[in-house]
A and B are shown apart, each in its own frame.
Chain A
């Protein structure tokens, strides 16, 4: 059974940093692209970042470029999102999702809550 479990969310002041993690199981982690999607309270979904197999390519939504960094450690079946210079508008639930080359996003984690507030 495919499982994705996020962790690392919490309360951080504006300008602070946080790293959220996602561990995958039940599949060959290194064979899949991974994606981070966030959802502000009561709002829609926003694609944040994606990373290809072996980390060969990384892409970001414009609003986080230069502040967030996506990375992966295939030996630990993990993908990370390092978030720096956090803003109030970065608050929300952060989901990691598995992305199949042909099918697209096919599995989601349950998410981890990030709150940026003073």
Chain B
């Protein structure tokens, strides 16, 4: 089965930059339409990026996404970290006609 692997947890200080990776187990992540979501405790997820790579309105440009074909990975980079960025982050991609989430990354900002 197709899987997306994310680091289980990351920790970084306010003002710094952190990158969360999402590695596909097979196929080409480059041709997959990867999305990223943020989920704060007790809340529904919200979209940080769309399948076409655009940012939803209201998402600050501190959040950026990229693809690295050589490692078959997608990445979410958050710059100028703020305490409110502390949350779980999930990537989402296609597996044929279905979709698959990465296991999620718990980001701690302290």
Contacts and interface: CB of A to CB of B under 8 A. Distances in A.
Contact of B54 (A46, A50, A103): A103
Interface string B93-110: 000011111111000000
A111 B84 CA distance: 22
B22 interface: no
Contact of B98 (A59, A103, A109, A111): A59
B66 interface: no
B98 A45 contact: no
Nearest to B6: A44
B90 A45 contact: yes
A61 B1 CA distance: 11
Interface residues of A, number: 23
Interface stretch (B9-17, B23-31, B42-50, B74-82): B42-50
Contacts of A95: 44-45
Interface in A98-113: 100, 102-106, 108-111
Residue picked from A37, A46, A104, A105, most chain B C-beta under 10 Å: A104
Contacts, number: 62
Contact of B99 (A50, A100, A102, A108): A50
Chain A interface main SS type: strand
Contacts of B39: 45
Nearest to A4: B44
Interface of B: 1, 33, 35, 37, 39, 43-47, 50-52, 54, 56, 88, 90, 92, 97-104
23 contacts: A37-B101, A44-B103, A44-B104, A45-B39, A45-B45, A45-B101, A47-B92, A47-B100, A50-B99, A59-B97, A59-B98, A60-B98, A95-B45, A100-B50, A104-B33, A104-B47, A104-B51, A105-B35, A106-B47, A106-B50, A106-B56, A108-B46, A109-B44
